[in-house]
């Protein structure tokens, strides 16, 4: 198939033709399209708009706060759907303990309210509206009990009401919220003036890169020697994305998707470097890890290649920790069951396989108290996104 | 009237669980069956999500006892469950023991109705009578 695939990252862009993949460091003084044309004009000219497919993770995902009635159902289901839509969850709040939570100061892209089967009633009271008034958010959606919808709509401005994600058998219905969140994510990407301009060279929809990578996963074996079950970690300039098979999650949620993903919006090594350092400094094992790497805390202000390497290694450790039973705030993966960890993104340009394996081994020993040693697979040529990038025909 | 039911802990007596669901349905209850291997928190969460008035936990061979000790504490962490009717039935002890000994123990754990080695219909008749007395049915 003669298609041009373009991935616009926060640090690099990659241009893939059937012959090769070009990678270019972005010039931040230029509009993305101008930069792209300047560096790849001849390549782009060879393709019609219909044959150009673009994805981007340059905007780093949406931040979400979820207010749910219980942990076992509404919060768990909404979190699962949000994760699967590439959303970054900054807080999940149990409605009945609303007053115990501190108010996030960041702007929240979307607030999700959920709870109750449709025949339940009188669930949400004034305390919900008072809490919402203190939040700073752009979008708000209700996906809970039908009997509550009208009341909430009267009291909450610009509330979007979608069908309940909890059915009358207490099972999850994910599609409506997933489509809404995926579209919001999409609008967020396209809302960037830079990204909109890219429609000058493509007639196809521009998708988020995590969405495209998730489409790739069932076909990853066509290009890589990956042993199931596996996880894929994409450490980029602005975000770190994790893609995983649902076999690795204990949560008993039956959905149609074989793979889910998480986007850690503030865990990248260039654009969100400061928040990565903050997360590292808040982790009690990081100083042991720095000692293991034979560096000191001064490395955080080191702008050299060595400093970037250590940041990348910290990012691997932090993201694995966030997925482990050691930290309960995110989905816990059965990390002792995985056989491969696939790495893609800028990390493959900075770290060698040995340096990555060293961190993984440190993580398993220190956090999971295990000698387990999953195989490391590096996507050094940014091939992974290309499998899912070219539309349906490419993956079928 | 809504009833949340299921089998607590690592107990897997799925047949009895299904029979309880069928019997409750036949008596006109709206049943939310959480099945086997259910944690206590899931029971209470299901009550909150559904607005159920009755929680009926079943258990075999004493599996419930280890879990039931935490019921009062856990229930107190939820708001609005004060009027929930709590019922437990099955074989509620490891080995053998008299109902006279077991029933007060489980009532002390926080159950309103306790049925140790009592047949299902007798237990459900008693539940219905209890609900009538409380003006709930």
In a domain, A396, yes or no: no
pLDDT, average across residues B47-75: 90
CA distance A379 to B31: 50
Share of chain A above pLDDT 70, in %: 88
Domain that holds residue B122: 2-134
Nearest-CA distance B8 → chain A (Å): 15
Q: Looking at the structure, do residues A151 and A202 belong to the same domain, yes or no?
A: no
In a domain, A274, yes or no: yes
In a domain, A217, yes or no: no
Q: Which of A117, A144, A148, A164 to mutate to test the interface with B (most CBs of B within 10 A)?
A: A117
Share of chain A above pLDDT 90, in %: 41
Whether residue B49 and residue A121 make contact (CB cut-off 8 A), yes or no, is no
> Residue A396: pLDDT band by 50, 70, 90 thresholds?
very low
What is the rounded end-to-end Cα distance, in angstroms, of chain B? 8
- Cα–Cα nearest to A89, from A70, A124, A61, A117: A61
Whether residue B49 and residue A116 make contact (CB cut-off 8 A), yes or no, is yes
Q: Looking at the structure, do residues A26 and A50 belong to the same domain, yes or no?
A: yes
User: What integer pLDDT is reported at residue A349 of this predicted model?
Assistant: 80
pLDDT digits (tens, 9 = 90+) for A257-284: 566 666 665 666 666 777 788 888 888 8
Q: Is the pLDDT of residue A351 over 60?
A: yes
CATH code for the domain of A373: 3.30.420
Q: What is the DSSP string of A236-274?
A: -SS-EEEEEEGGGB------S-SEEEEEETT--SSTTHH
C-beta of residue A350 within 8 angstroms of C-beta of residue A309: yes
Burial A98-130 (b: 16+ CB within 10 A, else e): beeeeebeeebbbbbbbbbbbebeebbeeebee
User: What integer pLDDT is reported at residue A1 of this predicted model?
Assistant: 62
Q: Is the pLDDT of residue B27 over 80?
A: yes
User: What integer pLDDT is reported at residue A334 of this predicted model?
Assistant: 86
DSSP state, residue A58: T
Q: Which has the higher per-residue pLDDT, A260 or A225? A: A225
pLDDT, average across residues A322-340: 79
Q: Which of B49, B55, B79, B84 to mutate to test the interface with A (most CBs of A within 10 A)?
A: B49
In a domain, A104, yes or no: yes
B 43-102 → A contacts, CB under 8 A: 44-46, 48-51, 78-80
Q: Is the pLDDT of residue A69 over 90?
A: yes
User: What integer pLDDT is reported at residue A341 of this predicted model?
Assistant: 94
Whether residue B78 and residue A116 make contact (CB cut-off 8 A), yes or no, is no
CA distance B26 to A275: 58
This prediction's pTM: 0.75
In a domain, A323, yes or no: yes
User: What integer pLDDT is reported at residue A259 of this predicted model?
Assistant: 65
CA distance B123 to B111: 14
Q: Name which of A31-40, A57-66, A277-286, B79-88 the model is least confident about.
A: A57-66
CATH code for the domain of B16: 3.40.50.280
Q: Name which of A129-143, A177-191, A269-283, A287-301 the model is least confident about.
A: A269-283
> Residue B36: pLDDT band by 50, 70, 90 thresholds?
confident
CATH code for the domain of A77: 3.40.50.10870
Residue of B nearest to A165 (CA): B49
Q: Name which of A142-151, A219-228, A369-378, B70-79 the model is least confident about.
A: A219-228
pLDDT, average across residues B43-53: 97
Whether residue B45 and residue A115 make contact (CB cut-off 8 A), yes or no, is no
Whether residue A69 and residue B46 make contact (CB cut-off 8 A), yes or no, is no
In a domain, A387, yes or no: no
pLDDT digits (tens, 9 = 90+) for B14-23: 888 899 999 9
Q: Is A2 exposed, middle or buried (0-12, 13-18, 19+ CB in 10 A)?
A: exposed
In a domain, A389, yes or no: no
Across B19-130, where does the E strand assignment appear? 30-33, 54-59, 85-90, 113-116
Q: Chain A contacts of B2, Cβ < 8 Å? A: 119
User: What integer pLDDT is reported at residue A381 of this predicted model?
Assistant: 80
- If you average pLDDT over each of A48-52, A60-64, A207-211, A381-385, which comes out highest? A48-52
Q: Looking at the structure, do residues A143 and A229 belong to the same domain, yes or no?
A: no
User: What integer pLDDT is reported at residue A252 of this predicted model?
Assistant: 55
User: What integer pLDDT is reported at residue B71 of this predicted model?
Assistant: 92
pLDDT, average across residues A153-181: 94
Q: Looking at the structure, do residues A131 and A276 belong to the same domain, yes or no?
A: no
Instruction: Name the strands in the sheet holding A240-245, side by side, starting at the edge strand that comes first in the sequence.
Output: A259-264, A240-245, A230-235, A340-344, A375-378
- Cα–Cα nearest to B106, from B65, B78, B76: B65
Whether residue B49 and residue A74 make contact (CB cut-off 8 A), yes or no, is yes
CA distance A23 to A131: 46
pLDDT, average across residues A73-91: 82
Alpha-helical runs (H) found in chain A: 32-45, 76-84, 126-134, 146-155, 175-191, 193-196, 209-216, 273-281, 286-292, 305-322, 347-350, 353-366, 384-389, 392-395
B40 touches chain A (CB under 8 A): no
What is the SS3 assignment for A200?
A: helix
Mean pLDDT, all residues of chain A: 85
C-beta of residue A265 within 8 angstroms of C-beta of residue A63: yes
In a domain, A390, yes or no: no
The helix (run of H) or strand (run of E) holding residue B5 is strand B2-7
Domain that holds residue A45: 4-59+194-210
Nearest-CA distance A222 → chain B (Å): 39
Question: Per the structure, how many domains does chain B have?
Answer: 1
Q: Chain A contacts of B50, Cβ < 8 Å? A: 116-117, 119-120, 170
Question: Per the structure, how many domains does chain A have?
Answer: 3
The minimal CB distance from A73 to the residues B30, B39, B45 is found for B45
Q: Name which of A324-328, B23-27, B78-82 the model is least confident about.
A: A324-328
B42 touches chain A (CB under 8 A): yes
Nearest-CA distance A231 → chain B (Å): 28
- Cα–Cα nearest to A213, from A20, A344, A317, A24: A344
Whether residue B50 and residue A119 make contact (CB cut-off 8 A), yes or no, is yes
Q: Looking at the structure, do residues A29 and A67 belong to the same domain, yes or no?
A: no
Whether residue A121 and residue B51 make contact (CB cut-off 8 A), yes or no, is yes
């Amino acid at each position: 198939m003669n298609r041009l695939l373009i991935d616009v990252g926060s640090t690099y862009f990659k241009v893939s033709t059937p012959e090769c993949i070009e990678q270019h460091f972005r010039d931040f003084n230029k509009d993305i399209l101008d930069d792209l044309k300047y560096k790849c004009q001849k390549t782009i000219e060879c393709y019609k708009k219909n044959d150009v497919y673009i994805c981007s993770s340059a905007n780093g995902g949406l931040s979400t706060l979820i207010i749910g009635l219980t942990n076992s159902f509404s919060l768990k289901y909404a979190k699962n759907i949000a994760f699967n839509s590439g959303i970054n969850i900054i807080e999940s709040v149990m409605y009945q303990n609303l007053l115990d939570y501190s108010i996030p100061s960041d702007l929240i892209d979307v607030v999700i309210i959920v709870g109750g089967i449709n025949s339940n009633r009188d669930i949400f009271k004034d305390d919900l509206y008072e809490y919402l008034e203190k939040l700073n958010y752009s979008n708000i959606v209700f996906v809970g009990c039908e009997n509550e919808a009208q009341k909430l709509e009267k009291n909450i401005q610009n509330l979007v009401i979608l069908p309940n994600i909890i059915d009358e058998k207490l099972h999850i219905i994910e599609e409506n919220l997933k489509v809404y969140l995926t579209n919001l994510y999409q609008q967020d990407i396209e809302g960037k003036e830079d990204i909109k301009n890219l429609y000058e060279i493509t007639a196809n929809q521009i998708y988020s890169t995590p969405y495209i990578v998730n489409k790739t996963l069932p076909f990853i074996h066509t290009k890589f020697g990956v042993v199931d079950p596996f996880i894929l970690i994409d450490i980029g300039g602005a975000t770190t994305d994790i893609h995983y098979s649902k076999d690795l999650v204990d949560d008993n949620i039956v959905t149609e998707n074989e793979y889910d993903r998480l986007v850690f919006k503030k865990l990248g090594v260039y654009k969100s470097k400061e928040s990565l350092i903050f997360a590292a400094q808040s982790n009690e094992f990081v100083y042991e890890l720095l000692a293991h790497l034979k560096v000191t805390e001064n490395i955080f202000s080191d702008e050299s290649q060595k400093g970037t390497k250590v940041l990348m290694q910290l990012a691997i450790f932090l993201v694995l920790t966030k997925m482990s039973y050691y930290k309960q705030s995110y989905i816990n993966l059965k990390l002792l069951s995985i056989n491969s960890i696939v790495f893609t993104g800028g990390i493959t340009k900075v770290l060698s396989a040995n340096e990555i394996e060293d961190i993984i081994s440190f993580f398993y020993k220190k956090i999971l108290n295990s000698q387990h040693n999953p195989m490391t697979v590096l996507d050094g040529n940014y091939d992974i996104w290309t499998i899912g990038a070219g539309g349906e025909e490419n993956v079928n | 009237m809504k009833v949340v039911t299921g089998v607590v802990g690592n107990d897997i007596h799925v047949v009895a669980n299904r029979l309880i669901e069928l019997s409750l349905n036949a008596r006109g209850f709206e049943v939310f069956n959480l099945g086997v291997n259910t944690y206590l928190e899931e029971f209470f969460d299901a009550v909150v999500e559904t607005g159920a008035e009755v929680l009926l936990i079943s258990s075999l061979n004493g599996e419930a006892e280890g879990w039931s000790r935490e019921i009062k504490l856990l229930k107190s962490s939820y708001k609005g469950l004060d009027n929930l009717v709590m019922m437990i039935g099955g074989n509620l002890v490891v080995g053998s023991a008299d109902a006279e000994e077991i029933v007060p123990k489980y009532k002390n754990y926080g159950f309103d109705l306790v049925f140790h080695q009592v047949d299902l219909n007798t237990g459900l008749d008693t539940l219905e009578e209890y609900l009538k007395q409380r003006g709930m049915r």
